Amino acid sequence: MHKLVILIETTAIPNFHTLWPRFLNAAENIPGLQREATSRVNRVLFGDFECSMIHELFFDSLASLNTGLASASGQEAGRLLQEMTEGKVRLLIADHAEDDLANIRLYKDMKRDDAG
């Protein structure tokens, strides 16, 4: 799985909250989109990076992500994103993997059994 990670420096920009629903509508119509997630940042613990919101768009593959971003909906979402953030945004593409806690604990238990 691959994702587009959108790091938004600030939401305290005129028209941000007016354009946000339009951005979401365009983003949610990107072909190949599997799911999305929004996180509102409470504070940055370390480092000198300002970020008030993280939005992630998940795709099955890098190819589907690239195809989706090149689509009309992807282009419109990108245009709205630039407009509503006044360019105060960073975009990252990441290979995404995750595990649930039950599986992590199972692996830890297996390592303990092997050691004992």
pLDDT single digits (tens) 36-65: 999 999 988 898 888 999 999 999 999 999
Instruction: Answer whether residue 116 shows pLDDT above 60.
Output: no
pTM of the model: 0.85
Mean pLDDT of 22-27: 97
Question: How many separate helices (H) and strands (E) can be counted in the chain?
Answer: 4, 4
Q: How many CB atoms lie within 10 A of CB 75?
A: 13
Higher local confidence (pLDDT), 44 or 21: 21
CA–CA separation, 81 and 109 (whole Å): 45
Instruction: Answer whether residue 98 shows pLDDT above 90.
Output: no
33 Cβ neighbours under 8 A, 6+ residues apart = 27, 57, 58, 59, 68
Domain boundaries, the chain: 2-115
Q: In terms of CATH architecture, what is 2-115?
A: 2-Layer Sandwich (3.30)
